[in-house]
């Protein structure tokens, strides 16, 4: 048997360094260092695995691809010229070496790339949504200068109030911050003049609305100032979809007559495709009001838009209009007005603040997922670095600089992140398709364009670069800190493993904190979605079919005859169990406002209580299965000439009539401005679910449709029926019998209506659950990897403990005790971060308080269970190692 003295390690090392052309002095020093190291290693390994195997293993280290590179670096250091560490040649050599090196660890590469792909894919998906809805902007020239102007009332916190026409006229005449100001009011209207009647969104606008966007019409012209003058011929501008669908894209449409709500308008222009400014408009009509006689605070309430002048800022515009608002308030007749004008970028002022907060909370959540993925990859690279300490020691002893070692580690992390970016982009594409499919049946802003824009791809590239840097920097710095002499003398790698173990545990602590934050947010949203799905709304959704029907133009009596005939026609159809005609549906489509209770005094507007109101036919209660808790329902006898009646919700009765019997009490809708009849309360019903996350159980008032003056002037009514029938055909037949020209639209089951109204909570809640699930899986994997590494590093120690009499249970308890403090600290920090995310995402919560202890407990239980499993597996594996074998492991 050959021993260490019979092997000439100096000759073996010198033979492998001959091609590197080192300086003789450098070569002698390097050969001595490595030969001494190999001889010591051989002396340790030969008794355990045999002389031949020991010799082959040690000589294999001298065949590492990095040996030549390191020697070359040592040779270059002897040159007087400075070395370009980040030159193209050096980087390309590192890339080739990194690819060869990573090819020997396919499992690690696959695990790291998969983790990063999930993080990058989720982040890119949410950024695509955020960019397409909020950041990309309007599709117009110099769009950031397009603004919306609204009133804010500090007294009650209202921040989206429209502006009376009289005030708008004064702003338009006196302001200097805008190139142009325009105003509009939008409403649903029935258009005829083609193949069929349609219900579309029509906007009555001033000419300035078109000037704001600087978009030229596809055909004809837009509206001009003379179109709004009294006595001007009625004209209309068509949207592209209306022109295409109603007129077959006829280029000769200009000059034809379009009827809107029964009134004729001459078509003067067609706008380009996707032009629907200000909000999903299909037809534009002139706003014909006399600006010369408009008084401050009077006229219809309008939304105001404008384009800032070149050089003007939003701060300047706000300051100017705030001063004008104070002056205009002095002209108002009612006095005490505290409205303040606010100027904002159009999209920012149009999308509710809570939606902004929700989407930014989602972006923050997925960035946390990405950080968890980066931490996982960093741990994998740290474990790999621990296994390569001898190789790195040889490279540094041969002259490789610390910067070169850092560069090599970062190149390897980039090689892992590159395929992850491609896979993540594919995942993001699928996520965008799924989101758009979920949005397909919902009305959404015309500017929304969610896809993988170039800006999104640039974001993916930047995210990938950040991920590779974050995941590779710590392992790189750790590798660069290694001392070549100490590393070559550290036969068991104990010192380097200890350093890596500490760093890995710190990284996993961060992973647990981030995952705890995401799981907490996901837990709140999950509970919210579960409660939303299980909620008892107080009305039937199964087997009920609904539609909207236009009421033909005519006097109030004619409109009432139409609604009466419509309800009779629906009720008389075969197999129809119940039918309803009213101003809206339970849960959605209600009116609302303040009301007064008879015998009570109110000094300020905000002192009046508020409630949602709905005018209903007697069939409401049977069609939707709404029971009356006290008193009676609205009946057929509740018509014009009879005592006006109302049925109120239990929530309203509890708030307003807690100490008295609500039956027989009287109230009047309209608050301070109410001049209608007093309504006698004849019944109390359960509070109906409002399909709203902000106020799900509001106070509600039902009035009789036949007694409601506003219903007699309504342009449309809601119908519903219940029974095993072809509902769409039945409704259309009943409408044709009442009036052949009345259009039917928005046909849907009540279940579909419910799903549409609760879409945000369900879809965005599902996304949060995905984020939490992914982060939990990544954190569990990371914890498992660290515990496995820790146990493997302590195998000899555990063997000694077992030899001294420690039981398997003692060993497992010791391993778990080591992880417990780390897990507890990470969860505590994570709960603090998660609480902030939950507060941002409150718009997606349903009847869940941000401090709900059951959610905190459930998240702690789930994460604790996952951590327990991740720790138990390596701990149990350690107990199965033979103590005699463990004692021979260095």
Which tens digit of pLDDT belongs to each residue from 795-811? 666 666 766 777 778 77
Instruction: Clarify whether residues 557 and 531 are in a common domain.
Output: no
Query: Is the model more confident about 331 or about 176?
Result: 176
Tell me: pLDDT of 839 over 70. yes
Q: What's the CA gap between 808 and 798, in Å, rounded?
A: 10
Q: Which residues contact 819 (CB under 8 A, 6 or more apart)?
A: 783, 787, 867, 871
Q: Helix (H, G, I), strand (E, B), or coil: what is residue 612?
A: strand
Q: Is residue 120 part of a domain?
A: no
- The predicted model gives 82-89 an average pLDDT of 50
Q: Supply the pLDDT for residue 498.
A: 45
Token reading at 823: 């897990």
Token code pair at residue 182: 């325009």
pLDDT bracket for residue 22 (50, 70, 90): low
Summarize pLDDT for 709-724 with one digit per residue, the tens.
665 556 677 888 787 8
Q: Is residue 709 part of a domain?
A: yes
Q: How many CA atoms lie within 13 A of 308 on its CB side?
A: 23
Q: What pLDDT score was predicted for residue 65?
A: 47
Query: What is the pLDDT, as a whole number, of residue 148?
Result: 95
Quickly state the pLDDT bin for 487 (edges 50, 70, 90): very low
Tokens of 641: 């000439």
Model confidence at 488, pLDDT cuts 50, 70, 90, reads very low
pLDDT given at position 876: 75
Give the pLDDT confidence score for residue 683 in this predicted structure: 96
pLDDT of residue 66: 46
Burial (CB count within 10 angstroms: exposed 0-12, middle 13-18, buried 19+), residue 196: exposed
Cβ-contact 447, 138 below 8 angstroms:
yes
With 90 as the cut, is the pLDDT of residue 120 above it?
Answer: yes
Strand partners, 745: 548
Same-domain status, 566 and 706: yes
Q: Which residues of 101-114 are buried (b: 16+ CB within 10 A; e: fewer)?
A: bbeebeebbebbbb
Q: Determine the pLDDT at residue 79.
A: 45
User: Percentage of residues in the chain with pLDDT exceeding 90?
Assistant: 24
pLDDT at 358: 78
Where do we find the tokens 């902030």?
A: 836
Establish if 584 belongs to a structural domain: yes
Domain that holds residue 33: 9-78
Question: Is the pLDDT at 243 greater than 90, yes or no?
Answer: yes
Choose between 657 and 842: higher pLDDT: 657
Question: How far is it, in rounded angstroms, from Cα 803 to Cα 712?
Answer: 93
Q: 392: pLDDT confidence band, cut at 50, 70 and 90?
A: low
Q: Is residue 543 part of a domain?
A: no
pLDDT tier, 497 (very low <50, low <70, confident <90, very high otherwise) = very low
Instruction: Examine the domain organization and report whether 380 and 326 are in the same domain.
Output: no
Q: How far is CA 577 from CA 544, 622, 721, in A?
A: 10, 8, 7
Residue with tokens 């070496």: 97
Assess whether 507 and 591 both reside in one domain.
no
Contact 88, 325 (CB under 8 A): no
- β pairing state of 679-685 and 645-649: parallel
pLDDT at 630: 94
Same domain? For 843 and 716 the reply is no
What single-letter DSSP state applies at residue 457?
H
Sorting pLDDT into bands at 50, 70 and 90, what band is 779?
A: confident
pLDDT score at 195: 61
What's the pLDDT at 792? 64
Number of domains in the chain: 4
Residue 9 confidence (pLDDT) above 60: yes
How many other CB atoms are found less than 10 A from the CB of residue 45? 18
Give the span between the Cα atoms of 134 and 664, in whole angstroms: 51
Same domain assignment for residues 706 and 805 = no
Lowest-confidence range among 37-41, 452-456, 763-767, 792-796?
A: 792-796
Q: Using CA atoms, how far apart are residues 244 and 93, in angstroms rounded to an integer?
A: 60
The pLDDT assigned to 717 comes to 78
- Residue 343 in this model has a pLDDT that exceeds 50: yes
Q: Coil, strand, or helix at residue 677?
A: coil
| pLDDT at residue 28, as a whole number | 67
Q: Tell me if 647 is assigned to some domain.
A: yes
Exposure on the CB side of residue 787, measured as CA atoms within 13 A: 29
Q: What is the mean pLDDT of the chain?
A: 80
∠ Cα 364 369 375 (to 5°): 125
Scan for tokens 């960093």, then name that residue. 378
CB 721 within 8 A of CB 504: no
Could you say which of 58, 78, 98 is where a domain stops?
78
Which carries the bigger pLDDT value, residue 729 or residue 240?
A: 240
Check whether residue 522 and residue 563 sit in a common domain.
no
Other C-beta atoms closer than 10 Å to the C-beta of 407 total 19
Is the predicted pLDDT of residue 24 greater than 70, yes or no?
no
How is residue 18 annotated by DSSP? G
Query: Residue 491's pLDDT band (boundaries 50, 70, 90)?
Result: very low
Does the pLDDT of residue 63 top 70, yes or no?
Answer: no
Where does the pLDDT of residue 156 fall: very low under 50, low under 70, confident under 90, or very high at 90 and above? Answer: low
In terms of pLDDT, which residue wins out, 883 or 488? 883
* Model pLDDT, residue 632: 95
Q: What is the pLDDT of residue 389?
A: 60
Q: Return the pLDDT at 883.
A: 62
Choose among 506, 500, 460: nearest CA to 481: 500
pLDDT > 70? residue 84: no
Q: Would you say residue 103 lies in a domain? A: no
For the residues 463-474, what does the mean pLDDT come to? 84
Query: Quick one: the chain helix, strand, coil %, rounded to 5?
Result: 55, 15, 30
* Number of residues that make up the chain: 890
CA angle 441, 446, 449 (to 5 degrees): 85
The pLDDT tens digits for 541-559 are 888 888 888 887 667 778 8
pLDDT at res. 601:
85
DSSP state of 145: G
- Which of the residue ranges 489-498, 523-532, 622-631, 737-746 has the most confident prediction, judged by mean pLDDT? 622-631
| Interval 268-304: pLDDT, tens | 999 999 999 998 899 999 998 887 777 887 888 899 9
The C-alpha atoms of residue 675 and residue 643 are separated, in whole angstroms, by: 16
Say yes or no: 479 and 524 in one domain.
yes
Strand partners, 265: 258
Is 809 contained in some domain? Answer: yes
Per-residue pLDDT at 476 exceeds 80: no
585: DSSP letter: B
Same domain membership, residue 317 and residue 192: yes
Binned at pLDDT 50, 70 and 90, residue 560 comes out as confident
| Residues sharing a CB contact under 8 Å with residue 285, sequence separation 6 or more, in sequence order | 202, 203, 204, 205, 234, 235, 236, 260, 265
Burial of 422 (0-12, 13-18, 19+ CB in 10 A): middle
Residue after which a domain boundary falls, among 25, 51, 78: 78
What is the predicted pLDDT for the residue at 676? 78
Residue in 616, 678, 675 with CA at minimum distance from that of residue 643: 678
Nearest to 172 by CA among 212, 211, 225, 208: 208
> Which ranges in 758-852 belong to alpha helices (H)?
759-793, 795-803, 808-840
Claim to verify: residue 567 and residue 440 sit in the same structural domain: no
pLDDT greater than 90 at residue 748: no
**pLDDT tens-digit map of 64-82:** 444 545 455 454 444 444 4
Final residue before a domain boundary, out of 43, 78, 113: 78
Listed residue (311, 308, 312, 210) closest to 268, CA to CA: 210
Q: What pLDDT does 494 receive?
A: 44
- Could you give the CA distance from residue 773 to residue 369 in angstroms, rounded to a whole number? 10
Helix (H) or strand (E) holding 593: strand 591-597
Q: Would you say residue 128 lies in a domain?
A: no
Where does the pLDDT of residue 90 fall: very low under 50, low under 70, confident under 90, or very high at 90 and above? Answer: low
Q: Which residue has the higher pLDDT, 872 or 688?
A: 688
Asked whether 35 and 9 are in contact (CB, 8 A), the reply is: yes
Same domain, 690 and 579: yes
Q: How many CB atoms lie within 10 A of CB 18?
A: 10
The bridge status of strand 198-205 relative to strand 283-286 is parallel
DSSP state of 588: B
Residue given tokens 């036919």 in the structure block: 617
pLDDT on residue 711: 56
- The predicted structure's pLDDT at residue 796: 64
Cα 690 to chain centroid distance, Å, stands at 23
The total of other beta-carbon atoms located within 10 Å of residue 798's CB is 22
Q: Is the pLDDT of residue 393 over 90?
A: no
Asked whether residue 205 falls in the same domain as residue 294, the answer is: yes
The pLDDT, as a whole number, for residue 628 is 94
Q: Which residues have a Cβ under 8 Å from the Cβ of 867 and sit 6 or more positions away?
A: 512, 779, 780, 783, 819, 823
Q: Strands, DSSP E only, in 514-587? A: 544-550, 578-582
């Amino acid at each position: 048997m050959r021993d260490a003295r019979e092997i000439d390690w100096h000759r073996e090392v010198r033979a492998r360094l001959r091609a590197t052309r080192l300086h003789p002095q450098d070569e002698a020093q390097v050969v001595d260092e490595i030969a001494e190291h190999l001889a010591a290693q051989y002396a340790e390994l030969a008794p355990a695995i045999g002389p031949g195997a020991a010799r082959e293993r040690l000589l294999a280290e001298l065949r590492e691809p990095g040996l030549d590179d390191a020697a070359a670096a040592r040779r270059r250091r002897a040159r007087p010229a400075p070395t370009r560490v980040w030159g193209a040649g050096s980087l390309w050599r590192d890339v080739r070496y990194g690819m060869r090196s990573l090819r020997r660890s396919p499992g690690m590469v696959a695990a790291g790339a998969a983790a990063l792909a999930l993080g990058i894919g989720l982040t890119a998906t949410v950024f695509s949504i955020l960019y397409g809805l909020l950041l990309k902007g309007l599709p117009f020239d110099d769009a950031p200068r397009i603004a919306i102007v609204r009133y804010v009332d500090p007294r009650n916190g209202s921040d989206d109030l429209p502006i009376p026409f009289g005030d708008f006229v004064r702003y338009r005449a006196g302001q200097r911050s805008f190139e142009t100001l325009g105003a509009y009011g939008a409403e649903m209207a029935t258009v005829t003049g083609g193949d069929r009647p349609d219900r579309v969104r029509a906007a009555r606008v001033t000419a300035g609305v078109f000037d704001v966007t600087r978009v030229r019409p596809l055909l004809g012209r837009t509206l001009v100032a003379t179109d709004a003058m009294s006595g001007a011929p009625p004209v209309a501008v068509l949207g592209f979809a209306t022109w295409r669908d109603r007129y077959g894209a006829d280029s000769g449409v200009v000059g034809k007559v379009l009827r809107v709500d029964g009134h004729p308008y001459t078509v003067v222009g067609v706008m380009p495709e996707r032009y629907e400014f200000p909000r999903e408009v299909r037809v534009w009509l002139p706003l014909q009001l006399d600006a010369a006689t408009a008084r401050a605070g009077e006229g219809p309430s309008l939304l105001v838009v404008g384009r800032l002048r070149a050089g003007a800022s939003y701060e300047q515009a706000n300051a100017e209009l705030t001063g004008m608002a104070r002056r205009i308030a002095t002209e108002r007749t009612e006095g005490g007005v505290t409205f303040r004008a606010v100027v904002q970028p159009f999209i920012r002022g149009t999308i509710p603040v809570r939606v902004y907060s929700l989407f930014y909370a989602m972006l923050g959540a997925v960035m946390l997922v990405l950080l968890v993925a980066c931490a996982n990859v960093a741990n994998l690279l740290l474990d790999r670095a621990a296994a390569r300490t001898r190789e790195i020691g040889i490279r540094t002893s041969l002259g490789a600089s610390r910067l070169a070692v850092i560069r090599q580690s970062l190149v390897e992390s980039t090689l892992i992140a590159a395929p992850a970016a491609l896979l993540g982009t594919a995942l993001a594409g699928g996520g965008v398709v799924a989101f758009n499919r979920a949005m397909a049946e919902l009305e959404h802003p015309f500017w929304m364009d969610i896809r993988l824009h170039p800006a999104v791809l640039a974001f993916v590239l930047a995210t990938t670069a950040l991920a590779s840097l974050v995941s590779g920097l710590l392992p790189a710095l750790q590798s660069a800190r290694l001392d070549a002499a100490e590393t070559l003398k550290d036969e068991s790698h104990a010192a380097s493993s200890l350093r890596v173990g500490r760093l890995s545990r710190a990284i996993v602590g961060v992973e647990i904190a981030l995952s705890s934050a995401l799981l907490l947010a996901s837990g709140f949203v999950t509970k919210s979605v579960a409660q939303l799905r299980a909620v008892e709304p107080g009305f039937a959704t199964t087997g009920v079919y609904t539609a909207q029907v236009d009421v033909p133009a005519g006097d109030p009596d004619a409109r009432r005859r139409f609604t009466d005939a419509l309800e009779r026609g629906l009720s008389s159809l075969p197999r129809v169990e119940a039918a309803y005609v009213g101003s809206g549906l339970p849960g959605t489509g209600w009116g609302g406002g303040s009301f007064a209770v008879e015998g009570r005094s109110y000094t300020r507007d905000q002192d009046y209580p508020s409630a949602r109101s709905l005018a209903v036919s007697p069939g409401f209660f049977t069609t939707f299965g709404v029971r009356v808790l006290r008193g009676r329902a609205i009946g057929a006898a509740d018509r014009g000439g009879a005592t006006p009646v109302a049925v109120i919700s239990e929530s309203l009765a509890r708030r307003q009539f807690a100490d008295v019997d609500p039956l027989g009490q009287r109230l009047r809708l309209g608050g301070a401005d109410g001049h209608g009849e007093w309504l006698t309360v004849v019944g109390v019903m359960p509070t109906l679910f409002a399909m709203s996350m902000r106020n799900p159980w509001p106070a509600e008032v039902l009035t009789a449709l036949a007694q409601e003056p506003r219903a007699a002037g309504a342009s449309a009514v809601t119908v519903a029926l219940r029974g095993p029938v072809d509902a769409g055909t039945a409704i259309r037949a009943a409408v044709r019998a009442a009036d052949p020209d009345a259009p039917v639209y928005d046909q849907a089951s009540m279940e579909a209506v419910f799903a549409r109204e609760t879409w945000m909570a369900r879809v965005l809640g599902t996304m949060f659950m995905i984020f939490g699930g992914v982060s939990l899986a990544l954190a569990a994997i990371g914890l498992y990897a660290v515990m496995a590494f820790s146990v493997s590093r302590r195998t000899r120690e555990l063997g000694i403990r077992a030899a001294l009499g420690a039981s398997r249970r003692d060993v497992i308890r010791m391993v778990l005790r080591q992880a417990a403090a780390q897990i507890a600290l990470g969860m505590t920090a994570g709960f603090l971060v998660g609480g902030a995310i939950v507060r941002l995402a409150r718009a997606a919560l349903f009847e869940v308080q941000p401090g709900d202890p059951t959610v905190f407990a459930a998240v702690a239980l789930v994460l604790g269970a996952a951590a327990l499993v991740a720790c138990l597996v390596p701990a149990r594996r350690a107990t199965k190692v033979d103590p005699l074998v463990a004692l021979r492991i260095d």
